């Protein structure tokens, strides 16, 4: 086992229990702070990607993002119906991000300025936090299960892409952004999430509540869109890092790079998953 692999395993063994405790055991307010702290660390890393190299400016940006999350929490407590607009903005950003990835390296003049990239960080991190809060608040007592399901979608898309890409990956998915990703990998990851959706339908029908055909189709639609968007989250961070000329968002996690390198797909998947749930009027809560 190489040193890098050993570092990855050790880091994973530390992070996994923290995530499990955070998802399953924390009540709403501590959970909100927990996700907010993760988002703030990711913001510190995003500031570097945006071009803010001095540590004080990166810390200031992280504090700014945390304050934005706090203001969002206070605002949504008074006007909870506005949650859909936060999620809509986050979803629309990922639609726009698809066009940016497709055009890269053309079109960088649109987002090259540091201030614009700083704003884009808000469009990534604030909707992610709101998406987590939606799942935590609206889906009790099944909130933890749904959060785990979103994570499984992200991991399934990633793992399926890895193995399918190694076996059949010849045609590149986005060679200017991430040369290692292939169309075979994309479809392998997509197929893996379809299997997850089938398993989810069976388990929900057997242990939570009966599902009709419409309910099954909604689960498949939500899963499919979330899986596609999760791939886009990884591509967008890769694009930003390539433009910035760096390999990892930071070196905080030995063997893994930075926090943002670990949650980029999740940052895209969670708000879109929550938005799709609301728009399709689907919930585990009967």
Model confidence, pTM: 0.94
Is there a domain that residue 211 lies in?
yes
Is there a domain that residue 164 lies in?
yes
Residue-number span of the structural domain to which 45 is assigned: 3-279
Axis crossing angle, helix 114-138 with helix 55-78, rounded to the nearest 10: 40
Which pLDDT value is given to residue 20? 81
d(CA 139, CA 137): 6
- Asked if 242 and 223 count as a contact pair (C-beta separation under 8 A), the reply is no
Residues 42-85: tens digit of each pLDDT: 999 999 999 998 999 999 999 999 999 999 999 999 999 999 99
252 Rama sector, left if φ>0, alpha if ψ -120 to 50, beta otherwise: alpha
HSE (side-chain half, CA atoms, 13 Å) at 13: 6
Torsion of CA 234, 238, 244, 245, to 10 degrees: 140
Domain count, the chain: 1
Is there a domain that residue 43 lies in?
yes
Residues 231-283: tens digit of each pLDDT: 999 999 999 999 999 988 888 887 668 899 889 999 999 999 999 999 999 98
Is there a domain that residue 18 lies in?
yes
Which pLDDT value is given to residue 286? 66
Tell me how crowded residue 33 is: count the other CB atoms within 10 A of its CB.
16
Residues 175-228: tens digit of each pLDDT: 999 988 999 999 999 999 999 999 999 999 999 999 999 999 999 999 999 999
- Segment 102-128 shows an average pLDDT of 94
Is there a domain that residue 172 lies in?
yes
Percent of the chain with pLDDT over 70: 95
Is there a domain that residue 285 lies in?
no
How many residues appear in the chain? 286
More confident residue, 247 or 10: 247
pLDDT of 1 over the 50 cut: no
Is there a domain that residue 286 lies in?
no
- H helix or E strand, kind and range, residue 97: helix 83-103
């Amino acid at each position: 086992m190489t040193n890098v692999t050993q570092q990855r395993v050790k880091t994973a063994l530390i992070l996994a229990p923290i995530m499990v405790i955070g998802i399953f055991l924390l009540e709403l307010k501590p959970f909100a702070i927990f996700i907010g702290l993760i988002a703030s660390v990711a913001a510190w890393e995003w500031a570097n990607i945006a071009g803010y190299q001095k540590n004080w400016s990166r810390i200031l940006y992280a504090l700014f993002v945390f304050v934005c999350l706090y203001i969002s929490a206070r605002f949504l407590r008074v006007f909870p119906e506005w949650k859909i607009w936060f999620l809509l903005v986050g979803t629309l950003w990922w639609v726009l991000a698809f066009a940016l990835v497709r055009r890269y390296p053309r079109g960088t003049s649109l987002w090259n300025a540091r201030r614009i990239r700083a704003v884009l960080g808000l469009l990534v991190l604030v909707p992610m936090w709101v998406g987590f809060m939606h799942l935590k608040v609206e889906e009790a007592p099944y909130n933890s299960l749904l959060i785990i399901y979103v994570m499984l979608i992200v991991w399934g898309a990633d793992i399926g892409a890895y193995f399918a890409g190694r076996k059949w990956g010849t045609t590149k998915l986005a060679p200017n952004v991430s040369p290692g990703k292939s169309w075979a990998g994309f479809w392998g990851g997509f197929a893996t999430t379809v299997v997850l959706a089938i398993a989810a339908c069976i388990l929900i029908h057997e242990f939570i509540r009966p599902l009709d055909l419409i309910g099954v189709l909604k689960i498949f639609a939500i899963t499919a869109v979330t899986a596609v968007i999760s791939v886009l989250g990884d591509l967008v961070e890769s694009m930003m890092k390539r433009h910035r000329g760096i390999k990892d968002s930071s070196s905080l996690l030995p063997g893994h790079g930075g926090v943002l390198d670990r949650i980029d797909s999740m940052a895209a998947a969670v708000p879109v998953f929550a938005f799709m749930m609301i728009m399709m009027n689907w919930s585990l809560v009967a």
